[in-house]
């Protein structure tokens, strides 16, 4: 299945800024079940400097700076992606994946091998997922039992987050502490993903933050409106001897073809779609429009 993604971010500054340095994580990465066929980024005004690199986690980082006065910054990222995730998804339900119990996993994580060492850094505290409270540990332990399959238990954890937490846009922002989200049980997809990550890390399992998109389908009989899609986030757990498995707690589902991966990191901080430093006293208004369609 081929999917087109258009992600337009617009900043309108109250007064002109003379200069800006920016970093974007908007180019989707290629992975098993996902291939990037085409990608373009268009920046207005035209940047004086532009470069791309691959970061520590293997994500594409775009850096640009605009060295003259501007009142509006508009970044349009468009890509065509071939997404065929069904095989990968099927493998999650395989015996190889499902048979790994929680106690097996903890035991296997002690092995010194490049894969395990690499995965284990995702158990450590990160900038937004840290100082996890006892409540996250006990919340996780309701699903995790020593002889229970990690896959099954994580699946249940996902469902519980989906059921227990309310999707309330505007209640949180990027710097809302996770403990508050846990207490109030409210937030958006980033928060839910990070709650799950905190829970998994608190019981010693590697978990990472997935940044991307999800295609929403219009109600039956209606035409899909442009720009109603959004940036999305979910999480993945590392199952030793199998690998990473994705879960989407916002939609209570294991991603298939509607999910498109941009990149991943320890939490949102590692993969913000766009950030920057501007010179000037800039109050700004942000507008994001994402549009995803099957083609």
Partner 1 sequence: MTPEKNPLFKDYFKEKSYDEMFTTSKEVKPSWLPLYEKINALGPEALKNRQEELDWLLLENGVTYNIYDDPKGLNRPWNLNSIPFIIHNQEWKLIEKGIEQRAKIYDLVLKDVYGERKLIEKGIIPQEVIYAHLGFLRQCDQINYSFDKLLLIYAAEISRGPDGRMWLVNDRVEAPSGIGYTLENRTNLSRIHPGIFKKMNVQKLTDFLYKFNDLLTSVAPNKKENPNIVILTPGSHNETYFEHAFLASYFGYPLVQGNDLIVRDGFLWMKSLNGLKKIDVVYRRVDDAYVDPLELREDSHLGVAGLLDVVRRNNITIVNPIGSAVVENPGLIPFMPAIAKHLLNEELILPQIASWWCGQKKEKDYVLKNIKKLVIKKIDKTNRESIHFGQYLSGEEITKVKAEINKCPYKYVAQEQISFSTTPTFSNGKFEPRNMVCRTFAIASPKGGYTVMPGGLVRVASKPGNVRVSNQRGGINKDLWITNDEKPVLENSYSFKQQNIAFTSGLADLPSLTAENLFWAGRNLGRTLSIARHMRVVLNQLSAHQSENIRPDSEKIITLLKSITHLTNTFPGFVEKDKSGKYALDNPITELHSLVLDEKRPGSLANTIGLFSNSYFAIRNLWSADMWRVFYDIKNIWDKLSNQEEPTSNAIVKSLDRLITRLIAFMGLIEESIKVDQGLLLYFIGLQMEKSLLTIAKVRSLVVHKHDDYTDHELLILLLNSHESLKLYIHTYRSNINIENVLELLLMDIKYPRSLAFTLKRLWKDISCLPHSNLGELHDYERFILQAIEQLNAQSIATLVEIKPNSYIRENLDSMLENVCGLLFNTSQTITNRYFNHSLKQEQLVSQNFTNN
Residue 151 vs 209, nearer CB to partner 1: 209
Q: Which stretch binds partner 1 (CB under 8 A): 12-20, 181-189, 214-222, 244-252?
A: 12-20
**C-beta separation of 129 from 176 below 8 A:** no
In the chain the first and final C-alpha atoms are separated, in Å, by: 8
Find the shortest distance in angstroms from Cβ 142 to partner 1: 20
Q: Which stretch binds partner 1 (CB under 8 A): 82-90, 112-120, 218-226, 240-248?
A: 112-120
> Of the candidates 15, 52, 93, 124, which one interacts with partner 1 according to CB under 8 A?
124
21 near partner 1, judged by CB under 8 A: yes
Site size with partner 1, rule: CB under 8 A: 42
Quote the CA–CA distance of 2 and 15 in Å, as a whole number.
41
- Of the CA atoms within 13 Å of residue 151, those in its CB half-sphere come to 21
Q: Does an H or E element contain 52, and which?
A: strand 49-54
SS3 203: coil
Find the shortest distance in angstroms from Cβ 15 to partner 1: 11
SS3 24: strand
Taking Cα atoms as reference points, which of 196, 197, 189, 159 lies closest to residue 172? 189
- Considering only residues 35-64, where is the footprint of partner 1 by CB under 8 A? 48-49, 51, 53, 55-57, 63
279 near partner 1, judged by CB under 8 A: yes
Quote the CA–CA distance of 288 and 8 in Å, as a whole number.
6
User: Which chain residues interact with partner 1 by CB under 8 A?
Assistant: 11, 18-23, 48-49, 51, 53, 55-57, 63, 65, 67, 112, 114, 117, 120-121, 124-125, 127-128, 174-175, 269-270, 272, 274-282, 284, 286
């Amino acid at each position: 299945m081929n999917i087109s993604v258009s992600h337009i971010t617009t900043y309108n500054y109250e007064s002109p800024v003379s200069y800006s340095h920016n970093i974007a994580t908007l180019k989707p990465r290629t992975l098993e079940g996902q291939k990037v066929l085409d990608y373009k980024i268009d920046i207005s005004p035209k940047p004086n400097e532009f470069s791309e690199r691959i970061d520590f986690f293997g994500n594409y980082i775009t850096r640009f700076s605009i060295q003259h006065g501007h009142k509006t910054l508009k970044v349009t990222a468009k890509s065509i992606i071939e997404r065929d995730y069904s095989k990968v998804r099927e493998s999650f339900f395989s015996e190889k994946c499902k048979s790994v119990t929680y106690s097996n996993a903890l035991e296997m994580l002690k092995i010194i091998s490049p894969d395990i060492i690499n995965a284990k850094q995702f158990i450590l505290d990160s900038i937004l997922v840290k100082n996890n409270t006892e409540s996250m540990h006990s919340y996780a332990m309701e699903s995790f039992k020593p002889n229970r399959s990690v896959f099954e238990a994580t699946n249940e954890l996902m469902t519980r987050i989906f059921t227990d937490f309310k999707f309330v846009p505007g209640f949180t922002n990027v710097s809302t502490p996770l403990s508050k989200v846990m207490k109030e049980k409210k937030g958006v997809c980033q928060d839910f993903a990070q709650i799950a990550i905190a829970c998994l890390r608190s019981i010693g399992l590697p978990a990472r933050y997935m940044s991307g998109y999800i295609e929403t389908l219009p109600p039956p009989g209606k035409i899909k409106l442009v720009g109603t899609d959004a940036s999305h986030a979910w999480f993945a757990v590392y199952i030793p001897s199998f690998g990473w498995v994705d879960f989407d707690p916002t939609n209570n589902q294991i991603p298939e073809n509607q999910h498109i991966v941009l990149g991943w990191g320890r939490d949102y901080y590692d993969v913000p779609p766009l950030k920057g430093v501007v010179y000037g006293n800039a109050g700004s208004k942000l507008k994001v429009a994402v549009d995803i369609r099957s083609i």
